[in-house]
Amino acid sequence: MSDSAWKSSTSLELALGRLAEAVGRLEQAMEGAGNGSVPEHGGELEAVQTERAQLREAQTVIAEQLDATIARLRGVLDG
């Protein structure tokens, strides 16, 4: 496998991992917001939910790109 292909794959995996961690933190924050403080932080909750949706969307795109990159690499290695 070439160095550039390896770096691309590693970068995508790292980005996917960071996105997954960010989504996890957002989910924890949303659960914490459900403990009675929603009225005073309603706008913040809405912003967190929007950001969460965007991160999930980005995570899906990155996962698809990573799968495509892995498939291309396998094709190059196999033949």
pLDDT tens-digit readout, 1-54: 556 655 667 777 788 888 888 888 888 877 776 665 545 666 888 888 889 899
* Residue numbers of the domain that contains 47: 3-78
What is the count of structural domains for the chain? 1
Q: How high is the pLDDT of residue 34?
A: 63
Q: How high is the pLDDT of residue 45?
A: 82
Q: How far apart are CA 33 and CA 25, in angstroms?
A: 12
**pTM, whole model, 2 decimals?**
0.48
Using the Cα atoms of residue 43, residue 49, residue 52 and residue 57 in order, give the sign of their dihedral. Answer: negative
Is a pLDDT exceeding 80 seen at residue 56?
yes
